[in-house]
Chain A
Amino acid sequence: MRYLPTPGRSLDGRKVLRFENGTEIRTQNLSTALLLTLCICLLAAVSVHLGQTRISIQELLEALSGSVLDEEQDYALWTIRIPRLLMAFMVGWSIAIAGAVMQSLARNPLADPGLFGLNQGATTMILLLIVLVPAASKLMIMSSALIGGLLVATLLIWLVGGGARTHGLAILLMGIALETVLSSITSLLILYTPQEVSYALADWLAGSLFNATAENVLTFLPFFVFSFAGILLIGPCLSRYELGNDAAMALGLSIRLTRPLILGFAVLLSTAAVTSVGPLTFLGILAPHIAAFLTPLKGRARLFISGLVGGLLVISADVLTRSLESDIPVPIGLSLTLIGVPLFILALRLQAINRQTQH
């Protein structure tokens, strides 16, 4: 019984579960996380169920417990749908966490790896690599994406300069300017590849889960696992960064050391996602905002729940895309943008209202 958490109250009077070493988890956060997991499981079942080959819930449960389905169902389930589902969740998870981390770091609620041009930097590097070295290995693609993302991040920091006192919207516009330049380079590259390649590239650029295979899932898995370690290490620092650089330093945080590391973590997660499914913009903003709307959050819990929300969003966008039996196959990045822009505008509106009521 020693290692089981005991229920109690935190300093601000909320119900918490307290572990032996002093770590606390708020009960409300825990129940939100459980609820989100439940939603994800339900959607996952729907997602696996959807498609040409019919697989009933009962058959799904039997398959998961080890029995063998007929050949067609087996192929649909294990080769296509399950990898796709896992990929959707992991990608959403990583981008959401990257967004949440960047928002704390930049103290800017509108920060997003896509809007800041990091995804675009990664994309451009990947395309350059594909054009220059057509037979590039997965590892080379991955590392070139990482380099691209980091380059853009450094460039952005250098351009913005100072940091603490600059206008949040100005940083955002700067990121968008970088994104414009990079995306024109990207479309330049696309124009001069042969048409079949260009079509595939455009599909990938719009964000697509079609090419999610078991192999891709396995390549992504280390990043997913790594993100847990990152959350545990970084979570507590982030709530200090939210107070501002000076306050964070006063609380004993070595900014010069941790800031690049944390930024690197965010870039790593988002670029890994970019290499797998193409850039997904707005997810990094949406997920943390929705998470914060569900339950008051800080530190590690914020990252965890944002990640869950991100996974949920991508899975539901995927389900939505596939259930629309239309002639237009909407790629997932597009449907995220279509949902994301209106929600983002809503977030801006809420922010404006908040500011007006504060003054």
Chain B
Amino acid sequence: MKPAIIHDKNRVSLKPERKTDFRLWIFFGLATVTLCAVFISNLSLGATSIPIHDVTGALFGPDTDNYNQIIVHYQRLPRTLIAIYVGAVMASGGVILQTLTRNPLASTSTLGTNAGASLFVVGGAFLFDFGVEAQGLAALAGAFFGFFCCLSVARMAGRSNDPRGLSLILSGVLVSMLFVAITNAFLLSNPMKRSEFLGWVTGNINHAYIDRLSDFWWIGLLSLLTLFLTARPLTLLLLGTEKAQSAGVNVKGITRIALAATLLGSGSAVAICGPVGFIGLIVPHMVRPFVGNNVLSLLAASVLVGAVVCLIADMGARLFFQPYILHTGLFMDLIGGVVFAFIVKRVYLARAAL
């Protein structure tokens, strides 16, 4: 029986609780089953429905003469894999950022990371004609740049030295706005390249980007592994810096490692299919009521649920607006903006009204 940290509204305890553990197992079982179901249906549903036996056939040894299997193998499977990667990486990034900043609105899209990464990719492609690998590197650098711009703005504009709370989010939004504006200026400058990047800039999960996935997948995997290894000390951090230190956690080191892993992961996701926003914001809030505040189980649950959400969003983007195929990033922005408003209303406005 492993001790689980249960976070009630006012109480953080290290007591093991059998009931909660049981609930956790049920949740993870359900999430895995859902992920598999959504995975299969994402492969089989679309402009043409493809029967299950063709899907499984395409997965285990594709038959190059069968049209359905070719569609699954060359179009839907790449799309699905990208969606899973982006969902898992962005959601885990959201968990880590929300834990570190102790801010329910933190995520890679609200802290300037995604905007920074896309600015660097577009800037690199427009100014220096970067290839795919160089664009990936640029995205990683951009993710760091965006985050540190956001932090320094928050420090400058904040009320105190602790750059948490609303001013952090506000400065993230401002930095994002600035970066998006510069990105748009780049885009307008070259109509030829604009059509190439127009979809990418809004976050587009597309089978065409499978080359990028095959180049960058290991970054996300490494980042996830690192985050899982740092999960336990991160949970202790939730108790407060001093308590964590007295429990033997190297607070500065852990924070830096976790941040770096998060930024690298989200940078690689942006490099693949552009800034698919708000998954990192939404998913941690979806899983928290079920798994509590233990970072390890939060991370695991977020990876599963993030992939599920991203797959469902991808499916929705393909199915709801037929014959058009919507950009998944736009679809997420739509949902994410609503959730963002909801969180602001519940957390900040409700508290201020008291």
Q: Which residues of A contact B (CB under 8 A)?
A: 159-162, 165-167, 169-170, 172-174, 176-181, 183-185, 187-188, 191-192, 195, 199, 202-203, 206, 281, 327-331, 334, 337-338, 341-342, 344-345, 348-349, 351-352, 355-356
Interface string of B202-237 (1 = CB under 8 A from A): 100000000000000000000000000000000000
The 6 closest A-B pairs by CB, nearest first: A181-B337, A348-B157, A184-B333, A180-B337, A177-B341, A170-B348
Q: Find chain B residues with CB under 8 A from A166 CB.
A: 349, 352-353
**Contact with A167, one of B153, B166, B173, B202 (Cβ below 8 angstroms):** B166
CA of A81 to CA of B118, assembled, Å: 36
Contacts A169-B167, A180-B340, A184-B334 aside, 9 further interface pairs with beta carbons under 8 A come to: A173-B173, A176-B173, A177-B340, A178-B337, A191-B199, A191-B202, A281-B177, A328-B186, A334-B188
A338–B182 touching, CB < 8 Å: yes
A170–B166 touching, CB < 8 Å: yes
Determine how close the nearest CB of chain B comes to the CB of A325; give it in whole angstroms: 14
Interface residues of B in 66-98 (CB under 8 A from A): none
Interface size on B, residues (CB 8 A): 46
B189–A329 touching, CB < 8 Å: yes
Interface flag for B318 (CB, 8 Å): no
CA of A341 to CA of B169, assembled, Å: 15
Interface flag for B19 (CB, 8 Å): no
For A338, the closest partner residue in chain B by CB is B181
For A205, the closest partner residue in chain B by CB is B184
Which one of B134-142, B251-259, B324-332 is at the interface?
Answer: B324-332
A337–B181 touching, CB < 8 Å: yes
For A351, the closest partner residue in chain B by CB is B157
Q: Find chain B residues with CB under 8 A from A180 CB.
A: 333, 336-337, 340
Q: Find chain A residues with CB under 8 A from B324 CB.
A: 192
**Contact with B337, one of A184, A195, A330, A356 (Cβ below 8 angstroms):** A184
B178–A181 touching, CB < 8 Å: no
CA of A283 to CA of B216, assembled, Å: 41
**Contact with A345, one of B156, B169, B195, B333 (Cβ below 8 angstroms):** B156
Q: Find chain A residues with CB under 8 A from B326 CB.
A: 188, 191
For A281, the closest partner residue in chain B by CB is B177
Interface flag for B131 (CB, 8 Å): no
B158–A352 touching, CB < 8 Å: yes
A352–B159 touching, CB < 8 Å: yes
List 10 A-B pairs, Cβ < 8 Å: A159-B345, A162-B349, A174-B344, A174-B345, A181-B338, A188-B326, A331-B185, A334-B181, A337-B181, A341-B175
Interface residues of B in 148-199 (CB under 8 A from A): 153, 156-159, 166-167, 169-171, 173-175, 177-178, 181-182, 184-186, 188-189, 191, 194-195, 198-199
For A166, the closest partner residue in chain B by CB is B352
CA of A341 to CA of B340, assembled, Å: 22
B349–A160 touching, CB < 8 Å: yes
Q: A165-B352, A185-B334 are in contact. Are A344 and B174 (CB under 8 A)?
A: yes
Determine how close the nearest CB of chain B comes to the CB of A242; give it in whole angstroms: 20
Q: A173-B173, A174-B344, A180-B340 are in contact. Are A167 and B185 (CB under 8 A)?
A: no
B327–A337 touching, CB < 8 Å: no
> Which one of A177, A199, A202 has the highest number of Cβ atoms from chain B below 10 Å of its Cβ?
A177
Q: Find chain B residues with CB under 8 A from A179 CB.
A: 337
Q: Find chain A residues with CB under 8 A from B166 CB.
A: 167, 169-170, 173
Interface flag for B273 (CB, 8 Å): no
Determine how close the nearest CB of chain B comes to the CB of A318; give it in whole angstroms: 16
Q: A170-B348, A345-B174 are in contact. Are A162 and B157 (CB under 8 A)?
A: no
Q: Find chain B residues with CB under 8 A from A192 CB.
A: 324
Q: A166-B352, A170-B344 are in contact. Are A345 and B185 (CB under 8 A)?
A: no
Q: Find chain A residues with CB under 8 A from B174 CB.
A: 341, 344-345
CA of A334 to CA of B189, assembled, Å: 12
Q: A178-B341, A181-B333, A184-B333 are in contact. Are A334 and B349 (CB under 8 A)?
A: no
Determine how close the nearest CB of chain A comes to the CB of B159; give it in whole angstroms: 5
Q: Find chain A residues with CB under 8 A from B106 CB.
A: none
Determine how close the nearest CB of chain A comes to the CB of B51; give it in whole angstroms: 31
A349–B178 touching, CB < 8 Å: no
Determine how close the nearest CB of chain A comes to the CB of B327; give it in whole angstroms: 7
Interface flag for B310 (CB, 8 Å): no
Q: Find chain B residues with CB under 8 A from A351 CB.
A: 157
CA of A334 to CA of B178, assembled, Å: 9
Interface residues of B in 289-341 (CB under 8 A from A): 324, 326-327, 330, 333-334, 336-338, 340-341
A174–B349 touching, CB < 8 Å: yes
Q: Find chain B residues with CB under 8 A from A178 CB.
A: 337, 341
Q: A177-B344, A337-B178, A345-B156 are in contact. Are A162 and B353 (CB under 8 A)?
A: yes
B333–A356 touching, CB < 8 Å: no
Determine how close the nearest CB of chain B comes to the CB of A116; give it in whole angstroms: 13
Determine how close the nearest CB of chain B comes to the CB of A157; give it in whole angstroms: 12
B178–A203 touching, CB < 8 Å: no
A334–B344 touching, CB < 8 Å: no
CA of A167 to CA of B351, assembled, Å: 9
CA of A327 to CA of B189, assembled, Å: 7
A341–B178 touching, CB < 8 Å: yes
Q: A159-B341, A167-B166, A185-B334 are in contact. Are A173 and B182 (CB under 8 A)?
A: no
Q: Find chain B residues with CB under 8 A from A162 CB.
A: 349, 353
Determine how close the nearest CB of chain B comes to the CB of A292; give it in whole angstroms: 18
A181–B341 touching, CB < 8 Å: yes
Interface flag for B261 (CB, 8 Å): no
Determine how close the nearest CB of chain A comes to the CB of B35; give it in whole angstroms: 26
CA of A146 to CA of B194, assembled, Å: 32
Determine how close the nearest CB of chain B comes to the CB of A273; give it in whole angstroms: 18
> Which one of A199, A281, A345 has the highest number of Cβ atoms from chain B below 10 Å of its Cβ?
A345
Interface flag for B105 (CB, 8 Å): yes
For B152, the closest partner residue in chain A by CB is A345
**Contact with B170, one of A172, A185, A199, A206 (Cβ below 8 angstroms):** A172
